[in-house]
Chains A and B, each alone.
Chain A
């Protein structure tokens, strides 16, 4: 049955994705839902040492059912004051803006976040952003929605400015798809070596003061599928071209000189652009078949014919039963006993899948050396 999960836990939702974009900002993220949503916010912000604060509105059912907007506004004003007080205690600057996100109930009830935000803005003196999450979609949709909100409310210029040569944006760079600082650091070093400079990474390390620089870039680099929608929008509106991470040649250093003893069949389970990158690099090592499967967005333009969108556990079970030599994915698949005995499993940390139980299995030269030895 498609929606029934026995073994793997549900994946990170769009609320988590939206949080990941604002985690490094001096922002207050308020989920318009009960305190059950706090855990999803906390996992993203606190685990990554984020500067943002988070809160939920914590109101009883009657406030939702009867549409008592004043209750919501009162609670959020208190949350804002409390967040700033906490920040004062710990020496952090006060919140610079507030982000409203939906939860499952508020989404089901058709909450008008924009109107609520305008109402709240009359009482607080900081700008507001709204991200129409639902608590029912996965994290990549939330990241894409957060980017859309940022672009439409902050970034979109009245007139496209002249692009600055050698200036790039990173789209889709987020702690959920790229945990740890190593990959980002190497990416930045590569930009430096190429004589390029970064305008913004849309929240991976920066905040609104750099987001406004996005239209000045001459190129967008999309590092995960959640950044594709914004990249295409900027290409259409601002004529800023984009390329995906797997097309960049700097990653070739990861597999230089490495090769497989045989010609293994490989299955990659995870985010699509990372999967495409791994596919290209493993092909250079001699892998004859590298299939990419994902529970998340599978973009048609970027997919290979054999790539699969997984709908549920049964899809995954059927797929791994096809007898791949190597299966790459978050360690939770192995932990939950989903990898058949005949396949070797290579972990690659993906927090939205596996709760970010850190095992430091990230894309690196060392990781590819491990794969070469395992095959």
Chain B
């Protein structure tokens, strides 16, 4: 079983393997995240932030919450954080479900703190009880969730900027967590007149750098979790936003450029660059296909936001894709930018694709005998045998592509993989820790007392 490390974008969008709080890596330097709420909410979240000096937890227990002391505790915590980390430029308050029931006016608190300290403040509620976060019948059709809201929360600090006028912008804001590779297509935008810079959120080196993104003329969301940010920037500030999520399809990228051309004046130099990039991408596809020699390909797409579009594109290029492992959240959140590809694949292969229709643990899943059975008792969820080599840690230097360059990068990885003929070691299948053996030291009375279940 040949497996592709879901590269080069294994952190494309958000690493689903980590906390859903979305702050397992900091979006912007010098923002300090202050989580507040009961212990239970942060017990499972904070492990991902242990190495993060820019995150703190304020435990607000039920007594303090009931007595209305939450705001006072937060103010005290802000003071202490400023003393411990004097270079903090902004704070992001992150609350949990319990806070939602307390009705605290966090907007006012953020504005008051900004007026008093000059720092920037934002907040978001990681409210598992909001309908959009609940699996099943209560989930809205509109995608939602913390990974969207945290990003939007950070951008709400723009509201505290004194002057903010996108009409006077001179750059392009790319909405993605990743640093953009120097080979990324989007750098060509600076060849257009009136566009002096192009930066992503991931490119920011500090909070002041992040605030300077407000001088963008328009924004491009290349990462699905940022779509909500795009909507917010457009509704609140009137900034034009294009939604052009990462694609590996030549045709789709061509359609993206058609949209971009409506916002960015096209020059001959840009046209030449574009044509060259497309040619490079096509060559890379041909080389990778030749290297594959028809070998079957099993793809781990768990950290790729549009797994079905990716799958469809690779099938279109002729690769012998045998299995794909998309992340379950794609089905849960019903990401609209991947639904069309999924529907096409489903129509072409109802049986093979049908197992991705249902949510995990539903009755429509395949039975336990299937290698792809979704069972939370099995480690790795989709992994049935062998070991899939995939990267779980974010490599800070890793960069992202967009456009034709993303195809070239992906094909380069595939070509290397085929050439290496990686072997996957078989590992014994998981078995739970056996219970301690029954000991002869166990007391067995002649007559057992009868149980009395009394509620």
Q: Decide if B433 touches A49 in the complex (CB within 8 Å).
A: yes
CA distance A11 to B133 in the complex (A): 25
Q: Decide if B39 touches A114 in the complex (CB within 8 Å).
A: no
Which of A61, A154, A196 has its CB near the most chain B CB atoms (within 10 A)? A61
CA distance A217 to B50 in the complex (A): 45
CA distance A306 to B134 in the complex (A): 49
Say what secondary structure dominates the interface of chain B: loop
A29-37, A236-244, A250-258, A283-291: which lies at the interface? A29-37
Q: Decide if B46 touches A9 in the complex (CB within 8 Å).
A: yes
B92-100, B190-198, B269-277: which lies at the interface? B92-100
Given the contacts A3-B59, A212-B451, A104 and B40 also touching, CB distance less than 8 Å: yes
Residues of B contacting A117 in the complex (Cβ-Cβ under 8 angstroms): 455
Q: Decide if A40 touches B59 in the complex (CB within 8 Å).
A: no
Tally B residues with Cβ within 8 Å of A. Answer: 71
Is B86 engaged at the interface, CB distance under 8 Å to the other chain? Answer: no
Is B432 engaged at the interface, CB distance under 8 Å to the other chain? Answer: yes
A128-136, A220-228, A340-348, A362-370: which lies at the interface? A128-136
Smallest CB–CB gap between A88 and chain B, Å? 10
Interface string of B441-455 (1 = CB under 8 A from A): 111110011111111
CA distance A157 to B41 in the complex (A): 38
Is A294 engaged at the interface, CB distance under 8 Å to the other chain? Answer: no
A197-205, A272-280, A321-329: which lies at the interface? A197-205
Given the contacts A9-B42, A13-B43, A34-B97, A1 and B50 also touching, CB distance less than 8 Å: no
Across the interface, name the chain B residue whose C-beta is closest to A175: B433
Q: Decide if A9 touches B443 in the complex (CB within 8 Å).
A: no
Interface string of A156-179 (1 = CB under 8 A from B): 110001001001000000000000
Q: Decide if A60 touches B450 in the complex (CB within 8 Å).
A: no
CA distance A318 to B118 in the complex (A): 32
CA distance A7 to B226 in the complex (A): 29
Q: Decide if B128 touches A35 in the complex (CB within 8 Å).
A: yes
Is A24 engaged at the interface, CB distance under 8 Å to the other chain? Answer: yes
Residues of A contacting B84 in the complex (Cβ-Cβ under 8 angstroms): 6
Given the contacts A5-B59, A35-B135, A188 and B439 also touching, CB distance less than 8 Å: yes
Residues of B contacting A103 in the complex (Cβ-Cβ under 8 angstroms): 40
Smallest CB–CB gap between B111 and chain A, Å? 23
Q: Decide if A108 touches B455 in the complex (CB within 8 Å).
A: no
12 A-B pairs in the complex with CB atoms less than 8 angstroms apart:
A3-B73, A39-B43, A39-B44, A49-B435, A59-B138, A60-B130, A85-B363, A127-B455, A129-B455, A184-B436, A192-B441, A215-B449
Shortest 10 CB-CB distances between A and B: which pairs?
A49-B432, A39-B44, A34-B128, A135-B40, A197-B443, A9-B46, A104-B38, A49-B433, A127-B453, A36-B128
Other 10 A-B pairs with CB < 8 A, given A36-B126, A197-B444: A9-B43, A33-B97, A60-B131, A61-B129, A137-B39, A153-B455, A164-B443, A164-B445, A188-B441, A198-B441
